[in-house]
Amino acid sequence: MIQKIIRRISQVFGALLANSYFTAWDGDPQIYQGRLKGIVGPILNCYACPSARVSCPAGSAQHFAALKIIPYYVIGSVGLVGVLIGKATCGWICPFGFLQEILYKLGRWVKLPKVKIPQWTKWGKYIVLVGLVILAPILTAEPGEFGAPGQTIFCKVCPQGALEGGIPQVLLHPDLRGLLGVLFTSKMIILGVFLVAFLFIKRPFCRVFCPIGAFLGLFNKISLLQFTVDGHTCTKCGLCKKVCPVDISIYEDPNSAECIRCGDCISACKFGSIKVGTIFNKAIQVKEEGSCSVK
């Protein structure tokens, strides 16, 4: 219970810190352009949000891809986080992940039916990462050294962008309302579909569409932070999957690319079978106890 409270507090502070430019809502609202905007946060948080202090990795990567420039800084900064803690930022500080969990809990509170999605849908986020974030901006750019940049297609369909950027900008800038068209309408429809889905499905955007989670998940098995499961005490009772925000059984793969490292399974396990350590501790444990202790 204490762990869950700490995680909720961390999620609230994560959302507030990433969007702490509160003066954007007073006087003449403008997007923050200070030095902190040069930081690429390892979370899905729209650059166009009036309060946003940091940049979104997906949007930043698209910007460079549209210019046919390899985004070394984006890859390096987000990759460093992945090497250290894997996908933990998804479970502890990502604002959009937090919203999905809150709405799912609301759905449980009003007793809406649960909807499970098949495991193969997890590949969707990798298609989004490669197809929309990387290839689409490159392929839509005009040829030639000075050709027009490509289209940032993921930003045009991202529900977080609609929620944090599109709606606030329209509310704060009345002069923009006359320019709204098909793109804005389509983004609102996409956002609406996802908001409804959040009530029925555990973190559907994270599990199926988020390119940032797809990239960070690649580091889970090699990151400094590691989870282990003691096969001698684990009964595979299923309590870990019941509380898991991404609906996985951690005993099947403690460092799965899907795991957001939230730690809810640790609190739920009655036998203390799930432990958190480092990749060095994991190596020692496997050597001493045998591979059967870490599934």
Task: List, for residues 223-267, the tens digit of each pLDDT value.
Answer: 999 999 999 999 999 999 999 999 999 999 999 999 999 999 999
Domains plus CATH for the chain?
A: 2-217 (no CATH), 225-293 (3.30.70.20)
Q: Is the per-residue pLDDT at 204 higher than 90?
A: yes
| Mean pLDDT of the region 110-138 | 96
Span 256-265, pLDDT tens digits: 999 999 999 9
- CA atoms of 283 and 129, how far apart (whole Å): 31
Q: Which residues contact 225 (CB under 8 A, 6 or more apart)?
A: 84, 85, 86, 88, 261, 276, 278, 279
Q: What is the pTM of this model?
A: 0.91
Per-residue confidence at 171, pLDDT binned at 50, 70, 90? confident
Residue 293 has pLDDT above 60, yes or no: no
Confidence of residue 292 (pLDDT cuts 50, 70, 90): very low
pLDDT above 60 (res 6): yes
Please report, in angstroms and rounded to a whole number, the separation of the first and last CA atoms in the chain. 26
- Range 40-46 average pLDDT: 96
The letter for the amino acid at 92 is W
Per-residue pLDDT, 145? 62
The pLDDT of residue 294 is 42
Average pLDDT, the chain: 91
User: What ranges in 167-258 are assigned the alpha helix state H?
Assistant: 167-172, 182-200, 204-208, 211-217, 239-243
pLDDT at 190: 97
Confidence band of 179 (pLDDT split at 50, 70, 90) = confident
Neighbouring CB atoms inside 10 A of 232's CB total 11
Query: What pLDDT does 280 receive?
Result: 87
